[in-house]
Amino acid sequence: MAISVVHPDTGTATRILDVAEQFVQVRGFNGFSYADISAELGITKAALHYHFAGKADLGRALIVRYASRFAEALADVDAAAGGASARLAGYADLYRQVLHDQRMCLCGMLAAEYQTLPQPMQDAVLAFFDQNEHWLEGVLEEGREAGILQFGGTARATARLIIGSLEGAMLIARPYGDEARFQAAADSLLAGLIRPGAVTTVA
Amino acid sequence: MAISVVHPDTGTATRILDVAEQFVQVRGFNGFSYADISAELGITKAALHYHFAGKADLGRALIVRYASRFAEALADVDAAAGGASARLAGYADLYRQVLHDQRMCLCGMLAAEYQTLPQPMQDAVLAFFDQNEHWLEGVLEEGREAGILQFGGTARATARLIIGSLEGAMLIARPYGDEARFQAAADSLLAGLIRPGAVTTVA
DNA sequence: GTCTATACAGCGATAGAC
DNA sequence: GTCTATCGCTGTATAGAC
């Protein structure tokens, strides 16, 4: 039952998820097949269907795991020393890391294909963005109360602006193969939220 | 040869492009087939292949036409009275109109699927974004010189921020079916570029 | 310019042996 | 848990009649 922290899970189901995750982030959910995964892992398509009955089940499992990992990453950002400004920078860096592997955000990719997805996957995609919005909202409110951040409108609206802008910056930067293009957009976006004259410790 | 302005082109090739365009913007390039188009138009798949030999040819024609129309729309924005601020608002409104039809930007969608596209389509997608960047760059520089706009960094970097942020705002707003979510992000983004105290005539 | 008919590869999915 | 074998369907694309 216990999953070792030292030794990562190398079970077949996990390996399937790892490969499928990469395919979705690079090609989109409609851009790969069970045959692609089986070829990559050296197992048959039938073996795939044993672990994930259908592509929809696999897709939903991908989103749930991705959202879970993202939540952990956000907790890590919270745990690290630093105020609201540093936490926002840490948030943007999560996106940058994904782009560095020449991948799109899993749920950003699925947002594009949204209308073709089975409903369980649609629901999971929206839950991911809601989760991001909630975390950002907290950071923004805390930062504004501490006098570190400033922004017009509500924290929620600003959180949505940040999510959309970072997803969009990834979307465009990836075809150009230009990580710096993303970083410049992220920096400019977050700079507009820092209150001039605020004393901050930047990570 | 001359295409009437009053009577739109109702030729088969145009009707194919219209239907295919909608499919790409809603489902993605990998989310529809020749059969879908032929069913929608009441013609056979073979007839489609007469007008566009392969799906790649059709895809490239879609992007070229879309970019051409977008260029016309930008010219219209330029022709309308108004300064840099109004032109930026007009630019954002082009995106809003697309989202209003519950569509994603054609090239934003194709940016997500970029790695699965044939190279002619890839090239055309990047050309579209370059075209947008160039137009925005001009507006931003003009606005800054006129004292209407202000922004840190170069006009080019700011242009890229705007493109990415609007594409991303569309990407996220569409699954939620929430046009207001896009508008709020666009307003907030552009408000950050207006120089405080600047006297402007907003359309 | 559109049709019927068809080729052939690939898709997701299943049955049943091991 | 993985295999072989196969199903029914859909994918893009083509040949040739009209």
Residues of chain A with C-beta less than 8 angstroms from the C-beta of B176? 126, 129
Does position A193 have pLDDT exceeding 70, yes or no? yes
**B78 CA from D15 C1′ (Å):** 51
Task: Give percent helix, percent strand, percent coil of chain A, each to the nearest 5.
Answer: 75, 0, 25
Identity of the residue in B27, B161, B191 whose CB atom sits nearest the CB atom of A185: B161
* CATH of segment(s) A62-191: 1.10.357.10
Distance CA(B111)–CA(A174), nearest Å, equals: 8
Distance CA(A86)–CA(A77), nearest Å, equals: 9
Subunit contact B164:A160, Cβ cutoff 8 A:
no
Instruction: Check residue A4 and report its DSSP letter.
Output: P
Closest CA to B25 of B96, B124, B101: B101
Does position B24 have pLDDT exceeding 90, yes or no? yes
Residue-wise pLDDT for B67-76, tens only, equals 999 999 999 9
Subunit contact A172:B164, Cβ cutoff 8 A:
yes
Residues of chain B with C-beta less than 8 angstroms from the C-beta of A192? 192
Q: Which DSSP string do the residues of A119-143 spell out, in sequence order?
A: HHHHHHHHHHHHHHHHHHHHHHHHH
Q: Which CATH class is domain A1-53?
A: mainly alpha
**A80 CA from C8 C1′ (Å):** 57
The confidence score (pLDDT) of residue A5 equals 63
Mean pLDDT of A6-20: 91
Distance CA(A162)–CA(A199), nearest Å, equals: 22
**Rounded to a whole number, what is the largest CA-CA distance in chain B?**
62
- Which regions of chain B carry the CATH code 1.10.10.60? 1-53
Task: Calculate what percentage of chain A has a pLDDT beyond 90.
Answer: 91
Distance CA(B102)–CA(B63), nearest Å, equals: 19
The confidence score (pLDDT) of residue A201 equals 55
**Cβ B41 to strand C below 7 Å:** no
Residue-wise pLDDT for A130-160, tens only, equals 999 999 999 999 999 999 999 999 999 999 9
The confidence score (pLDDT) of residue A148 equals 97
The confidence score (pLDDT) of residue B92 equals 98
Residue of least CA–C1' distance to C14: A46
Q: Residue B8: pLDDT band by 50, 70, 90 thresholds?
A: confident
Contact A165, A192 (CB under 8 A): no
Q: Which chain A residues in 18-37 sit with Cβ < 7 A of strand C?
A: 32-36
Q: Residue B108: pLDDT band by 50, 70, 90 thresholds?
A: very high
* Structure tokens given for B134: 């160039």
CA atoms within 13 A on the CB side of A102: 9
- Which regions of chain A carry the CATH code 1.10.357.10? 62-191
Contacts with B126 (C-beta within 8 Å, 6 or more apart), sequence order: A175, A176
Interface of A with B in 179-198 (CB under 8 A): 181, 184-185, 188-189, 191-192
Closest CA to A65 of A114, A113, A3: A3
Contact B105, B182 (CB under 8 A): no
Q: What is the pTM of this model?
A: 0.96
Distance CA(B194)–CA(B147), nearest Å, equals: 9
| Helix boundaries (H) for chain B | 12-27, 34-41, 45-51, 55-79, 84-100, 106-112, 119-145, 155-176, 179-191
Closest CA to B129 of A67, A173, A75, A34: A173
Subunit contact B116:A173, Cβ cutoff 8 A:
no
The confidence score (pLDDT) of residue B10 equals 79
Contact A112, B109 (CB under 8 A): yes
Instruction: Check residue A156 and report its DSSP letter.
Output: H
Distance CA(A111)–CA(B175), nearest Å, equals: 6
Closest CA to B135 of B89, B95, B78, B82: B78
Question: Is residue B152 within 8 angstroms of chain A, CB to CB?
Answer: yes
Does position B57 have pLDDT exceeding 60, yes or no? yes
Mean pLDDT of chain B: 95
Distance CA(B24)–CA(B151), nearest Å, equals: 35
- Nucleotide closest to A58 measured between CA and C1': C12
How far is CA B60 from its chain centroid? 15
* Structure tokens given for A6: 């030292």
Question: Is residue B55 within 8 angstroms of chain A, CB to CB?
Answer: no
Residues of chain B with C-beta less than 8 angstroms from the C-beta of A109? 112
Residue of least CA–C1' distance to D14: B46
- With b for 16 or more beta-carbon neighbours within 10 A and e for fewer, the A101-118 pattern comes to eebbbbbbbbbbbbbbbe
**3-class SS at A72?**
helix
Residue-wise pLDDT for B115-161, tens only, equals 999 999 999 999 999 999 999 999 999 999 999 999 999 999 999 99
The confidence score (pLDDT) of residue A9 equals 82
The confidence score (pLDDT) of residue A199 equals 67
The confidence score (pLDDT) of residue B9 equals 81
